[in-house]
Amino acid sequence: MREKMYPEPQPVSAYLCRELECSCGRVHYADIAAVEIGAGAIRTLPEYTKKWGYACPYIVCDDITYKIAGAQCENLLSQVGVYAKLHIIKRLGFDEATLGELLIDMPADCDVIIAVGTGSISDIIRYMSFKLRLPCFTVATGAPMDGFAAGIGVMNVDGLKTTMPAHSTKLIIGDTDILRTAPYRMTAAGFGDLIGKLSCLNDWELARLVTGEHFCGNIAALVKKCVDDILQCADGLKRGEPEVLGRVMEGLVLSGTAISLYGDSRPASGAEHHMSHYWETVFEQRGVRAAMHGEQVAVGTVLILMFCEELARAEIDFDLARAAARSYDRAAWEAEIRRAYGAAADGVIAIEDSACKNETAGRLRRIDAAQEKLPLIREKLNALPGAEHLAKLLRTVGCPCAPAQIGVDEATLKDTFMYCKEIRPRYTVLQLAYDLEVLDSVSDRVIERIKRDSA
Ligand SMILES: [Zn+2]
Ligand SMILES: [Zn+2]
């Protein structure tokens, strides 16, 4: 039986495993059976495992998450006569090699995989179990990002951070007694990932205006609520209040659920995430350990909000933009991508080969639409929260808010503005600026502003 999609945002349990017919024309469905958030939530693990009839779980953790919750999962299960095979990941890459390591140790009769950890472990397990057609659970040991509930997984493939088809986790456990023991930095990063929804929702609205992309107002409102809730409790987070921690976890799960409901990451990932993916890619090649995902997204969000402020003020010369579209030089573009992406360039060029975002015909169409909608676009950009205000909030929480804090130098920052949009086919405010031939000048203005602020 189909129900109607809720016009007002609801708690996460209202969205699980039910077909919701929406006024946007789609039926939304999140393939997550249960979410348990709260003190002692880990004790529900054996109950669900037994209830769903799993007898041969494969628990995957690393040596840190083993101590935090992996051993406890193993014990709790054995107390009810379920003997799990436990694997402690040796490799760090979350790439093809790690996937191989996990497969080799997996028991042949495994019927459920339990990821114990945060983002990367959850992502690789959701991908692997999806490919093996096995269900998976996630026991969170920190709340640093919103990937737990998402129906996609990010992995390193051929040296490039790649969004892979995956499924949602069947059970999510966010035990606040465990989350409290996570390094505070992780929780602050979770806050950062949620802040990013402000800029990605703006990208989605711009796409709706300019390219006519499908848009769901109900899901957008749901994601908006996740951010609004969290903006209220920055002080409580710093004080380590368990209730606030639970709210961050709930916000992250809800935002991930929105990705599942919509069927792709559009509602929760935009230009701020493209920046983060770009930094991951270049840092990996430089052999530098990148900052946490949520920290990068927080910095990306502040940068994108500054960019939106400058773009709203920018003088747009539509004739110049059209001339640039007509003289698009694919070879020159490719040379720049090879310089900016290094070893990962082939994957990025392949994305453009199928998306054709920069080709003349599509760009001219988008310039026409942007010209027609310019007043509305400016209105949207001006309605965003101020970058300064957000940076202040991030400082209160103790999350990085400036590129230098996460090791991004000025040259990398310029490349980020110019080329991070190429890492995904998705339309964002950076594509809008590129189309209008102001990407270069507006990003220079943002970079100048950052230099002034830090002087
Ligand atoms: Zn994220
Ligand atoms: Zn909808």
| CA of residue 208 to ligand 2 center, whole Å | 14
In this prediction, residue 205 carries a pLDDT of 98
| CA of residue 380 to ligand 1 center, whole Å | 23
| CA of residue 273 to ligand 1 center, whole Å | 6
Does 240 have pLDDT greater than 90? no
| CA of residue 421 to ligand 2 center, whole Å | 26
Q: Which ligand is nearest to the CA of 295?
A: 1
Average pLDDT of span 282-303: 94
| CA of residue 330 to ligand 1 center, whole Å | 31
| CA of residue 20 to ligand 2 center, whole Å | 8
In this prediction, residue 232 carries a pLDDT of 85
Nearest to 200 by CA among 121, 154, 258: 258
Residues 6+ apart with CB under 8 A from 308: 199, 202, 381, 384, 429
In this prediction, residue 163 carries a pLDDT of 83
Residue ranges of the chain that CATH labels 3.40.50.1970 = 31-182
- Which tens digits make up the pLDDT trace of 203-215? 999 999 999 999 9
In this prediction, residue 283 carries a pLDDT of 94
Average pLDDT of span 133-160: 87
SS3 174: strand
Round the average pLDDT of the chain to a whole number and report it: 94
| CA of residue 313 to ligand 2 center, whole Å | 33
Instruction: Count other C-beta atoms under 10 Å from residue 382's C-beta.
Output: 11
| CA of residue 29 to ligand 2 center, whole Å | 10
Average pLDDT of span 62-85: 97
Confidence band for 244, pLDDT divided at 50, 70 and 90? confident
| CA of residue 224 to ligand 1 center, whole Å | 14
CATH 3.40.50.1970 fits 31-182, yes or no: yes
| CA of residue 23 to ligand 1 center, whole Å | 27
Which DSSP symbol is given to 406? G
Does 162 have pLDDT greater than 90? no
Residues 6+ apart with CB under 8 A from 361: none
Which DSSP symbol is given to 16? B
Does 319 have pLDDT greater than 90? yes
Tokens 């701020």 sit on residue: 272
Average pLDDT of span 242-269: 90
In this prediction, residue 243 carries a pLDDT of 83
In this prediction, residue 258 carries a pLDDT of 93
Tokens 């348990």 sit on residue: 36
Q: Which ligand is nearest to the CA of 269?
A: 1
CATH topology of domain 191-241+263-398+410-454: Dehydroquinate synthase-like, alpha domain (1.20.1090)
Does 403 have pLDDT greater than 80? yes
Does 145 have pLDDT greater than 90? no
Q: Which ligand is nearest to the CA of 25?
A: 2
Does 151 have pLDDT greater than 80? no
| CA of residue 423 to ligand 2 center, whole Å | 26
Average pLDDT of span 298-317: 98
Lowest mean pLDDT: which of 37-51, 180-194, 206-220, 319-333? 180-194
In this prediction, residue 190 carries a pLDDT of 93
Residue ranges of the chain that CATH labels 1.20.1090 = 191-241+263-398+410-454
Three-class SS string for 194-261? HHCHHHHHHHHHHHHHHHCCCCCHHHHHHHHHHHHHHHCCHHHHHCCCHHHHHHHHHHHHHHHHHHHH
SS3 38: strand
Average pLDDT of span 32-47: 96
